[in-house]
Amino acid sequence: MKPRFIVLFLIAVLILPACGQKTLNEPMTLLNQDQKEVTFPSEKPTVFFFITTYT
């Protein structure tokens, strides 16, 4: 059972990324904690951190 699960997992890891887009066509816009829109540019690589808290 475990070898079959590992093979299916590896297939999913290889196929799912191939279905995505290579680049973004338009900038990505998210809301910050103050409900203001923040836009990330798509012309250069950008790293952003997403932190959540549960109370």
Q: List the chain domain ranges.
A: 24-55
CA-CA distance, 4 to 1, in Å (whole number)? 5
Among 50, 17, 54, 47, residue whose Cα is nearest residue 32: 50
Q: Provide the pLDDT confidence category of residue 54 given band limits of 50, 70 and 90.
A: low
Name every residue whose Cβ is closer than 8 Å to that of residue 31 and which is 6 or more positions away in sequence: 37, 38
pTM of the model: 0.38
Query: At 6, is the secondary structure helix, strand, or coil?
Result: helix
Amino acid present at 10:
L
Examine the pLDDT at 8 and tell me if it is beyond 70: yes
